Amino acid sequence: MNLFVANWKMNMQRAGARAYAEELGRRIGERALSVELSIAPPLTALDAVRDPRGRWSLAGQNVSSETEGAYTGEVSARQLADAGCRYVIVGHSERRRIFGEDGKVLAAKLAQVRAARLTPIYCVGETQDERTRGLSTATLTRQAETLHGDPPDLQLVVAYEPVWAIGTGNVATPDDCAAAGQHLRGLLSNRRDLRLLYGGSVTPENAGAMLKNAGIDGFLVGGASLSVSSFAAIAGLP
């Protein structure tokens, strides 16, 4: 089933989050969904977004590489599970670039996520500079190496998010995305349950062509997910 994940990043207060969840619930109503939805709100809004009827799941945007203890400001995988999360985003380019998260830290985070029985949404993607220098596939190969210690029989979501496409309005073409996806699926051919998402300036206008032609299983949506009508349209809901 295709998966649509809303990554709100550091946006939204609790009242807005509650209103968003109510509106999303109204749009879905009693309908049995043929897609899977997940929302990654800020930690402060996890409670406000939770759907008692389970029509969408919750996702963490980040997680500590440590289990518990004196790590002020961090949140553990176990705490995210306790708060009702099903997924955790690991290795988002903003975490890699702004907070210096490297393969070693991300492998430790993945291990924490698995220990808490959560499913990672592992992000990969090349920068504009890497793309210009013809290093796109080499970058994906290097970033996928972080998954080597991750048990191949467990469900895995990988989000191909070219850094040059995130928040820029420069969406990748379906062909770009298909080529990256083919490379990633080849690298991860030992995985039993792999879903490949695309992320980067997805909108209701470009989502359809991408879903049809890029060989993906859904989207990780940033900016456009802050509007319930945009997120719903991207996911094909009314």
User: Does 230 engage in binding with ligand PEP (CB under 6 A)?
Assistant: no
161 is annotated as an active-site residue: yes
User: Does 38 engage in binding with ligand PEP (CB under 6 A)?
Assistant: no
From the CB of 220, what's the least distance to ligand PEP, in Å? 5
From the CB of 189, what's the least distance to ligand PEP, in Å? 25
Q: Which stretch binds ligand PEP (CB under 6 A): 53-61, 66-74, 108-116, 159-167?
A: 159-167
User: Does 221 engage in binding with ligand PEP (CB under 6 A)?
Assistant: yes
Task: Give the dihedral of Cα atoms 234, 49, 223, 208; nearest 10 deg.
Answer: -10
Q: Which stretch binds ligand PEP (CB under 6 A): 43-51, 59-67, 143-151, 200-208?
A: 200-208
From the CB of 166, what's the least distance to ligand PEP, in Å? 4
User: Does 199 engage in binding with ligand PEP (CB under 6 A)?
Assistant: yes
For the chain, give the secondary structure using H, E and C.
Answer: CCEEEEECCCCCCHHHHHHHHHHHHHHHCCCCCCCEEEEECCHHHHHHHCCCCCCCEEEECCCCCCCCCCCCCCCCHHHHHHCCEEEEEECCHHHHHHCCCCHHHHHHHHHHHHHCCCEEEEEECCCHHHHHCCCHHHHHHHHHHHHHHCCCCCCEEEEECCHHHCCCCCCCCHHHHHHHHHHHHHHCCCCCCEEEEECCCCCHHHHHHHHHHCCCCEEEECHHHHCHHHHHHHCCCC
- If the CB atoms of residues 81 and 163 are measured against ligand PEP, the closer one turns out to be 163
User: Does 91 engage in binding with ligand PEP (CB under 6 A)?
Assistant: no
User: Does 161 engage in binding with ligand PEP (CB under 6 A)?
Assistant: yes
Candidate residues 3, 4, 7, 214; the one interacting with ligand PEP per rule CB under 6 A: 7
User: Does 120 engage in binding with ligand PEP (CB under 6 A)?
Assistant: no
Count of residues that bind ligand PEP according to CB under 6 A: 13
Among 36, 92, 101, 130, the one annotated catalytic:
92
User: Does 36 engage in binding with ligand PEP (CB under 6 A)?
Assistant: no
The sign of the torsion formed by the CA atoms of 99, 107, 66, 112 equals positive
- If the CB atoms of residues 55 and 125 are measured against ligand PEP, the closer one turns out to be 125
Interacting residue ranges for ligand PEP, rule: CB under 6 A: 7, 161, 166-167, 199-202, 220-224
